[in-house]
Amino acid sequence: MRILLADDHAFVRDAIAHVLRQHLLAQVETARDLASALDRVEGAGGFDVILLDLRMQGMDDLAGLSAMRARAPGVPVALLSGHLTRGVVDAALQLGAAGCLSKAMSVQSLVAALRLMVSGAVFVPLSEANSFSAGPTLTPGEDLMVRGLGKGLSNKDLARELGLRDVTIKRHLKTLFRKIGARNRTEAALWAANRGLT
């Protein structure tokens, strides 16, 4: 599977790309804005699915979706957003989007949605939050961090791997610990190991 992922937030873009490569064994190419994504399609083509961040530079709300669909006819184009609303979902689907994906959806749901769209179906989120399973569900960025903890990576290692500052890693880890009910790095690493996330 060949995927084009366009998002202007480097951490989110890299985390989602990592998850897709790992869980779908996909070839993932990335772009930082709509213009560079359009260039990728023009220069390479052959993508199985294209993911566009709704709020990145050049999107102009849903105009970017229409521009990409015109540039890549026949290729499923889906929107990514941290804040999906029913109005955005409805409007995007009316314009021919293959689906709308929340950045907060679990890794399992993200993978399932992509497989669905590549098969030719349309992914319609069950809720605006796309929260499909009981218990804590990890965003792609959180998944990447908890796997790093499971491998024994330090904050500095995580910062280097993700291209972030130590203070940013600490903030993300605090949120992650609260989400999975871990009091410290050791408990988070055990949580990851018990779920095969190492």
105 in the same domain as 27: yes
86 located within any domain? yes
Query: What CATH number does residue 56 fall under?
Result: 3.40.50.2300
Q: What are the structure tokens assigned to 67, written together?
A: 């521009």
Residue stretches of the chain with pLDDT short of 70:
43-45, 126-136, 193-198
Rounded to an integer, what distance in angstroms lies between the CA atom of residue 71 and that of residue 93?
18
How many domains are there within the chain?
2
Give the H or E element holding residue 182.
none
pTM over 0.85? The answer is no
> The tokens 């989110």 sit on which residue?
12
132 located within any domain? no
Range of the domain at 83: 2-118
Question: Are 40 and 4 a contacting pair, CB within 8 Å?
Answer: yes
Over residues 129-175, the pLDDT tens digits come to: 343 334 467 888 888 888 888 788 888 988 888 888 889 899 889 98
114 in the same domain as 166: no
Query: Can you give the pLDDT at residue 72?
Result: 93
